[in-house]
Structure 1
Amino acid sequence: MNVSNSAHSGEVLRELNSQRERAELTDVVLEVGGRSFPCHRAVLASCSPYFRGMFTSGYAEAKQERVSIRDVSPVAMATILHYAYTGCLQTEPDQVQAVMSAAKLLQVDFVCNEAADYMKNHLDVSNCADVLMYADMLGDLVLVEYCRRYIASKFNQVALQPSFLQLPLALLQSLLNRDDLLTNSEDDVVQAALRWVEFDQEERLRHLPNLCLSFRDFFLSSKQLVELEKKFPSTDIKLVYSDSTTRRLGQARTEMQIFLRDDSTKSAPCYDPSTGELYTMNMPDNVVGFSMAVTPRDELYVAGGVVNCQKIPHDFKGCKKLKTFYEYNHLLNTWEQRCDIISPRVRCALVYLKGYIYAIGGDDAKKKAERYDPSRDEWTTVPPLPRPMYRNFCSVALGDSIYVIGESEEGCYSFSTTENTWNKIANRKKPASYPQAVMYQGSIYCAGNMGPMIGVVPEIYNPAKDEWRRSGKSSFASHASILTRYGETMYLLRAHRDRNLYATRTDIGIIQYHPGTDSWQYQPAIDSRQRLSAQDKSSLLVPPMVHWLCSMGLRDTLQVHCLSARMVPECLGRDDTGAFKDPPDHGEERS
């Protein structure tokens, strides 16, 4: 007979833990910070090389019934013993560092690694400098580098935190020397270092010459150089700067167009019209019905629901927001979870205005609205909408107000952030499905689809007069459209499907707005199957995305939106799947 009992090992471990709790058959007592822990030497030695060496060597502890353990807190020891006897690691967040230190000393690798991973996953701008100092003290080089890279990705924000001012000189210099700092200018790097100096100027001013070796002279403003020289007027020491001509990543950002579908795509294409290059931005896993906001500092935020079904329904019912809310890390090309939205929302309006992110609508019939404070990672409620807004509406910020534009029956409203009130505003002249709006030169431009026969009719809203009027004199046949800004120009991307008895043809048109004449100039449509020459591509705004826009943008249930943000090309992915490339020429599509 040859059989095995799969439950045997678990039962033995549970019995040993029960014996430990009763101090039964234990053969050693660990004395830790005034507390006594009866244990079995064999169990300790089986999971800790530290204890195995202690109990099998010629040291006095090998024969002692009571062994004193120093540099370990009682709580940390209790946590590690619980893991040794159960295989389960449980600890409070404020004890993670103590547990990791104890695990490092006692050589319990699993606990040490899990504690380090926990700290990696819970880094934020307020604690990352503290974790960096802790990891450096512990000698955990992997955690040190992870913290350095995280700080580089949030450098301007971290530099304002009190813990940044506590960094030792060596760690500060290791940060200032990095090429991947996401700062807008080299002056930002200098200002961060000067704040560190001024925190204890009497002691730290002498370190300024060493810090200057990290400042890249080629990118410093003349004003900043003068300020530095004034800080150290000594004629005996000349300030010497780095001669590096490598631009830091944050200074190499370029404006790109981010094309979003609100289903569960794992990446979003980011197109750089200035170079014709196409990149991909990772999206949060399993998030659908999401909305994105971009701040003037190019911080990206996403709110959405979590997939809880195999097939995504048209209205996203059957999905769990769980109230999920994320901030994008440009350097790591990942999304970091932030404080949950108060009310669950799908396809809400997410708008940035004067330091806050507003989440409006998308909560079925509840009409709730709320505001996020990035400095506190906190949501608070604001007055509710006058009527529910769900699915097909858009919003835009202008001045001190947020404007919400619904479909024909929903109407239009504005929220004054100074008066903290909602007001009804004029309805559009030609209400349409799936409206999209942008702020452009002090007015609100809105475009929506009025059906394939009528197409797109752009309108302009004047807040001072509270009136809408038609923009331009033409309408554009379209099954789907995208209204977007790039630089100082506004565009309307439109996709139209022409079906007859024999074939279905789809073309893309790009229509540029000319504010001087209030007109829209139409570029010739491009057949989705056509291969474009290099010369043709250079004249179009989104040539590599023709096939993607045609195949995805025409589905009525999944709308495509476009936002502009300054991205870091070196940190984005590249499209290896061919999903966003021009299609091969296969001839006509048969219906």
Structure 2
Amino acid sequence: MPYVPSPPQRNDSLPSYSRTAPPIPPAPVKRNSFQHKLRPASEIYYSVSRASSASLRKMAYDKALERPGSADSASMSSCPIFTHEVKTLFRDSFKTLLEFYESGHLCDVELKVGDKSFKCHRTVLACASLYFRAMFTSEMAESKQGVVTIYDIDENAMEKLIRFVYTSKISLTTDNVQSILYASSILQIEAVAQACCDFMKTHLHPSNCIDVRNFAEQHNRVELMKTVDEYILDHFLEITGSPDFKNMPVNLLERLVSSPDLHVETEEQVYDALMAWVNHDAEARGEHLPGLISHVKLALMDPTFLMEKVETAELIKKNHDCRDYLDEAKYYQMSLVSLVPDVKVTPRTCPRKAYAGVLFCVGGRGASGDPFKSTECYDVRRNKWFDVAQMHTRRRHVGVCSVNGLLYAVGGHDGTEHLSSGEVFDPKTNKWKEIHPMATFRRGIALASLGGPIYAVGGLDDSTCFSTVERYDILTDSWSSVASMTTPRGGVGIASLKGHIYAIGGNDGTSSLDKCERYDPYLNKWTPIGSMNKKRAGAGVAVLYGAIYVVGGFDDNSPLDSVERYDPKSDTWSVVNGMLCCRGGVGLDALGGKLYAVGGHDGSNYLNSVEAFDPITDTWTVMRGIQQFRAGAGVTACDSVLKNLRKVVRNTSERLQFLIGLVQY
């Protein structure tokens, strides 16, 4: 065999160490500290340097010998690992990529959009756009093409989106936001699409909201659709005056008028808006009228408007379904004055939240035992409670009622003594004003209005339960006595219905009562009526759809969750679905076709929870709770425009903050 010379070895090659484990150094020899000899500093320096250099070479050698699962690897796993991170690298890299894009360097694809073309980097596009990622990583023809044509996208919007993927910045205006939203939706650049939606939400106006709603629906932007729908519900009356309203799609219009959250002041406004929309093209839109009218609450309109405007409309007269809805409304209104038997309750007889009124919770007491003078108001559209002006006096077990849009609070206990005083709250000014006091000091009193005057019924002090009744004349600001009840009743509940006042339950000083009685103001006489199924005092009582409901209260031992309904025609009580928890000292009133049970005591704790009863479904639903845990509060609904009340409260708060600032200054 001929001689083959070995290949020359390069000077820069690493030495070929044998792959053997390094030798274990011998154990250090123990020396007496006195045996050490002093060495020159230079000798120490050079020996340390040689040792350090050898240690570094040994670490590199040992690292080269590491193998997964080996003993050497296991021994090295406990060694510290240093990770260096340059947090600005990605920004610097994208700055460089932007420079490459602007100069056309290293670009590997050209996008043609309209009359413009853009040289880009596939990787950058694929990182930001799911559309391009799918295009460039699949077997599509475009994945191998140097020039790719994009159709149906505005070239200016495309240019802004390309710069966005290189810079993460994009400028939105009212002129370009729709084209950019369209392009970003097609190219699946969700960050930009969401930014466009957020921008459009903040620039909604009655003149553009319908167009925005249609655009959002075309691109399936669900959150934007929801926001625009809420805006249209809040600004319906303003939108009906815009030219775009008459071009609103019928499905959107029907969705709006069927909503209980539609913000209108009267149902007549809804009817006028619908008829204007239909009459814009009566021949084509007439077929939609029955479906639209089915959501209008004709029964809640003014009788004169119903007879003179609705009944005489040609489109209504020609349609059988519309005439049926009109007849339903007539019968409902006649049932309110007992001209015909009660009719069935339907969603068309439930008022919309915007004009249903507001609910007030007044006074009461909590776990500390001290009575409150705070007043909370319920926003039924937003399911939220907010504070209004406080009373002048603390009051627990106070009687409350509303008359002509004003809230009256009378009697109660202030924590020290029983009260005969009263005060009235005006939602238009957010102020309380004192009224003339009653003749009797009492708590556990109940108030009701009947034909104008206010009646203060029953109550108790520390020694007596009262059967006496006083009547307050609003015009003269004076009290007078009327016939007393047949039974003393502290913690009584009362309701006014079809010309009579009903006194429900209470406590006669010995035990809770199931007995009830009725007052006739013309005869000035109380007459017993049918007894409840359970004894109860401190119960909530309210009228809804021609029936009296009584909820919760205390029997002689504990709080109750049971609910009963009284039919004045048959003079009988029937049990309905009970509340979700026991409530003694609960406040109750009807608002927007539902009953609201507020606060109370469950036998262990004061409550701030609220639940609402729907008579159509016979169910209770948990609502937003009041801010204070309280029982013995007065709860009543009041005919007041919530939007105006919120504005007055806000202005009052701003003035107060201003005055506080002046004092501090």
**TM-score for the superposition, normalised by structure 2:** 0.42
Structure with more strand by fraction: 1
Larger radius of gyration between Structure 1 and Structure 2: 2
Structure with more helix by fraction: 2
